[in-house]
């Protein structure tokens, strides 16, 4: 069984984090999403086919030519012309039944294994509360597809397409004949609809987790979910006398936790970090490699990418700090609105609801803040931007590395 993993998209909805990296390389528990997904497929997949495009060299450099002994074949999609087009580009690599899935979502490995064992073309599905945001299936009593409608205006079902499929080579002639959509793409949903009408297509309800990463704050949800699944505390680094660790906490090699630090699990701290003295790391925090959390800093329900610094008197709540971020003394990320409304955030120029009670800042790589910077809830700063001392960030700060990369 071969698995096609779709990694070519640019993903502007997850800016500023994906200005400088493809979305499958976003980290969860200090590992790229794509690696977690490949681990979940490893036991029943013989070869990985990765469709790459945007910043393709970063994925190739990270993964190399094989994953733990299993071959990786890279197929380059120069123009992002849809999921169907991406799968079609792999036609020469496929000889029998194969899997295909989004490279920026996480699926329960047991569900993927069950999908691989199906005897007929199928897709994983989940019931969702907001059908208008998904491709939605109408089924008969045997889970055979009657129709698949992308983002329906009239709700007829809540059974959503979640982006993991088992196909036979029969899909390729269908894709060749699939007309372009209004946005100029070959839509896999259109091909599935055709297959359903011609020879049949089925669904398999996913029983385990599905963690889609559509927006930056979805990383926080997925991070919390994975931290909850940690079994036992593991401390490989050095914890000095006077530091206190409570609950499930992972501390990797080379990290030192200085006196006066209080770490509440679940939490994950990577390699070669300096924690403390006298800081507070609260639950659902993941800290990457070579980070620093210093005197009187408090980190809560947040993700720090590698080389991120919150070195003195910082509050980082419900936030994401990209690689190389450095917070000036006294920088604070506000995560709650005074009016009690849910935080909102601008995505591709549109102010949207996040659905969260609390959301702090999303800072791209190498952002530097001046001392006493205050950042409004849900605000974003693009890579290599900065603030002056005492600045209040009321709106997103978009630098020269804009939506064109």
- pLDDT tens, position by position, 58-67: 999 999 999 9
Q: Based on C-alpha coordinates, what's the Rg of the chain?
A: 22
Q: Are residues 176 and 253 in the same domain?
A: no
Pairwise CA distance, residues 275 & 320, whole Å = 18
Q: Are residues 185 and 236 in the same domain?
A: no
> Looking at residues 292-320, what average pLDDT do you find?
99
Pairwise CA distance, residues 191 & 295, whole Å = 57
Indicate if the pLDDT at residue 404 is higher than 70.
Answer: no
Scanning the structure block, which residue is given the tokens 């008197």? Answer: 313
Indicate the residue among 214, 234, 254 that finishes a domain.
214
Q: How many domains would you assign to the chain?
A: 2
For residue 404, is it within any domain? no
Q: Which domain holds residue 177?
A: 2-214
For residue 256, is it within any domain? yes
CATH number at residue 347: 2.160.10.10
Q: Are residues 388 and 269 in the same domain?
A: yes
Indicate the residue among 185, 214, 243 that finishes a domain.
214
> Looking at residues 205-218, what average pLDDT do you find?
97
For residue 402, is it within any domain? no
Indicate the residue among 188, 214, 240 that finishes a domain.
214
What pLDDT does residue 182 have?
86
For residue 132, is it within any domain? yes
> Looking at residues 39-47, what average pLDDT do you find?
97
For residue 267, is it within any domain? yes
Give me the active site residues, please: 312
What pLDDT does residue 340 have?
86
CB 379 within 8 A of CB 395: yes
For residue 403, is it within any domain? no
Q: C-alpha distances in angstroms, 327 versus 58, 298, 365? A: 26, 12, 12
> Looking at residues 95-112, what average pLDDT do you find?
97
Q: Are residues 269 and 145 in the same domain?
A: no
Indicate if the pLDDT at residue 80 is higher than 90.
Answer: no
Q: Are residues 15 and 112 in the same domain?
A: yes
**pTM, two decimal places:** 0.95
Mean pLDDT over each residue of the chain, to the nearest integer:
96
Question: Per-residue b/e over 49-58, b at no fewer than 16 CB within 10 Å?
Answer: bbbbbbbbeb
What pLDDT does residue 384 have?
97
> Looking at residues 138-145, what average pLDDT do you find?
94
């Amino acid at each position: 069984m071969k698995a096609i993993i779709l990694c070519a998209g640019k993903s502007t909805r997850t800016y500023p984090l994906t200005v400088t990296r493809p979305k499958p390389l976003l980290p969860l528990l200090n590992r790229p999403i794509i690696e977690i997904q490949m681990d979940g497929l490893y036991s029943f997949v013989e070869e990985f086919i990765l469709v790459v495009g945007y910043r393709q060299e970063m994925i190739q450099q990270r993964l190399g030519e094989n994953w733990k002994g299993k071959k990786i074949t890279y197929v380059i999609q120069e123009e992002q012309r849809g999921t169907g087009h991406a799968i079609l580009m792999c036609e020469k690599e496929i000889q029998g039944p194969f899997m295909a899935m989004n490279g920026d979502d996480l699926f329960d490995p047991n569900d993927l294994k069950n999908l691989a064992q199906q005897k007929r073309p199928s897709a994983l599905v989940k019931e969702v509360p907001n059908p208008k945001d998904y491709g939605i299936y109408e089924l008969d009593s045997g889970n055979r597809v009657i129709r698949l409608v992308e983002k329906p205006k009239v709700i007829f079902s809540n059974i959503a397409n979640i982006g993991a499929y088992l196909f036979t080579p029969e899909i390729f002639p269908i894709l060749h004949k699939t007309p372009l959509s209004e946005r100029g793409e070959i839509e896999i949903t259109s091909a599935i609809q055709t297959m359903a009408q011609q020879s049949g297509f089925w669904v398999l309800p996913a029983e385990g987790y599905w963690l889609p990463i559509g927006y930056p704050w979805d990383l926080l949800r997925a991070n919390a979910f994975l931290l909850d699944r940690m079994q036992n505390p593991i401390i490989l680094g050095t914890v000095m006398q006077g530091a206190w660790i409570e609950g499930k906490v992972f501390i990797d090699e080379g990290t030192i936790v200085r006196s006066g630090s209080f770490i509440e699990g679940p939490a994950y701290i990577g390699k070669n970090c300096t924690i403390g003295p006298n800081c507070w790391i609260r639950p659902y925090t993941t800290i990457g490699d070579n980070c620093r959390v210093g005197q009187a800093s408090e980190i809560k329900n947040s993700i720090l990418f590698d080389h991120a610094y919150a070195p003195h008197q910082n509050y980082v709540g419900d936030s994401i700090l990209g690689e190389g971020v450095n917070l000036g003394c006294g920088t604070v990320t506000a995560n709650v609105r005074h009016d009690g409304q849910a935080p909102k955030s601008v995505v591709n120029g549109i102010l949207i609801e996040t659905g969260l009670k609390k959301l702090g800042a999303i800072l791209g790589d190498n952002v530097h803040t001046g001392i006493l910077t205050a950042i409004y809830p849900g605000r974003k700063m693009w890579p290599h931007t900065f603030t002056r001392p005492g600045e209040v960030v009321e709106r997103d700060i978009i630098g020269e590395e804009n939506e064109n990369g």
